[in-house]
Amino acid sequence: MAPLPGAELVQRPLQLYRYLLRCCQQLPTKGIQEHYKHAVRQSFRVHSDEDNPERIQQIIKRAIEDADWIMNKVSAWLPAPPAS
């Protein structure tokens, strides 16, 4: 499962939030989707008072890397699509 298109365009926290929620929608089961949506919301609450632009960019970069890792991890669990 490749990262969603547009990851390289994420520059602001709101863009990151939307990107991560779109990633959650790509996950295979409702339970996994809800788990990661909750994690995204919690992380945004924890970092909501961050005002250092350099630190915000570090957080964005790490969040996208983590989302890519999760998407790849979950895709490894899924069975291969049937050959046509």
pTM: 0.80
Residue 11 has a pLDDT of: 86
Q: Tell whether the model's pLDDT for residue 77 goes beyond 80.
A: no
Residue 56 has a pLDDT of: 93
Q: Tens digits of per-residue pLDDT, 5-57?
A: 667 778 899 999 999 999 999 898 899 999 999 999 999 999 989 999 999 99
CA distance from start to end of the chain: 20
Q: Tell whether the model's pLDDT for residue 84 goes beyond 70.
A: no
49-67 burial, b for 16+ CB within 10 Å, e for fewer?
A: eeeeeeebeebbeebbeeb
Residue 74 has a pLDDT of: 83
* 3-state helix/strand/coil string of 22-65: HHHHCCCCHHHHHHHHHHHHHHHHHCCCCCCHHHHHHHHHHHHH
